[in-house]
Amino acid sequence: MDRLDALDRQIIALLQRDGRACFAEIARALGTSEATARRRVERLIAEGVIRVVACVEPGRVGLQAEALIYLQCELDRLTQIGRQLAAMPEVREVLYTSGAHDLVLRVALPSGEDLWPLLTERIAPLPGVRSSQTSHVLRTEKRLHDWQVADLPARSTPSAPPPRSILLVDDDTDFATAAQMVLEAGGYRVAVAGCGREAWERLRQERPALVLVDLIMETPLAGVELAHAIRADERLQDIPLLAISAIRSTEWATSLPDRAELPFDDLVDKPIEPQVLLEKVRRFMHE
CATH number of the domain residue 48 falls in = 1.10.10.10
Tell me, yes or no, whether 207 lies in a domain.
Answer: yes
pLDDT at 161 over 50: no
pTM of the full structure: 0.55
Range of the domain at 84: 58-139
Percentage of the chain with pLDDT > 70?
93
Mean pLDDT in residue range 148-173: 70
pLDDT digits (tens, 9 = 90+) for 21-56: 999 999 888 888 888 888 889 889 988 899 888 888
If asked whether residues 205 and 242 sit together in one domain, one would say yes
pLDDT at 128 over 90: yes
Which pLDDT score, from 0 to 100, does residue 163 have? 54
If asked whether residues 62 and 101 sit together in one domain, one would say yes
Which pLDDT score, from 0 to 100, does residue 5 have? 82
Mean pLDDT in residue range 241-262: 87
pLDDT at 8 over 80: yes
Nearest to residue 265, comparing CAs of 287, 250, 244? 244
If asked whether residues 73 and 38 sit together in one domain, one would say no
Total structural domains in the chain? 3
pLDDT confidence band for 1 (50 / 70 / 90): low
If asked whether residues 200 and 254 sit together in one domain, one would say yes
Q: Quick one: CA dihedral 191, 194, 196, 200, positive or negative? A: negative
Mean pLDDT in residue range 249-264: 85
If asked whether residues 280 and 216 sit together in one domain, one would say yes
Quickly count: other Cβ atoms within 10 Å of residue 119's Cβ.
17
Long-range CB contacts (< 8 A, 24+ apart) of 233-238? 233/203, 235/207, 236/203, 236/207, 237/39, 237/43, 238/39, 238/40, 238/43
Mean pLDDT in residue range 206-230: 93
DSSP the chain: -----HHHHHHHHHHHH-TT--HHHHHHHHTS-HHHHHHHHHHHHHTTS--------GGGGT--EEEEEEEEE-GGGHHHHHHHHHTSTTEEEEEE-SSS-SEEEEEEESSGGGHHHIIIIIITTSTTEEEEEEEEE---S--GGG-----PPPP--TTPPPTTEEEEE-S-HHHHHHHHHHHHHTT-EEEEESSHHHHHHHHHH---SEEEE-S-SSSTTHHHHHHHHHHH-TTTTTS-EEEEE-GGGSGGGGGSPPGGG-S-SEEEESS--HHHHHHHHHHHTT-
Average pLDDT, the chain: 89
Q: What angle do CA 136, 141, 144 make, to 5 degrees?
A: 90
Of the listed ranges 43-52, 98-107, 109-118, the least confidently predicted one is: 43-52
pLDDT confidence band for 63 (50 / 70 / 90): very high
Tell me, yes or no, whether 42 lies in a domain.
Answer: yes
Tell me, yes or no, whether 23 lies in a domain.
Answer: yes
Tell me, yes or no, whether 224 lies in a domain.
Answer: yes
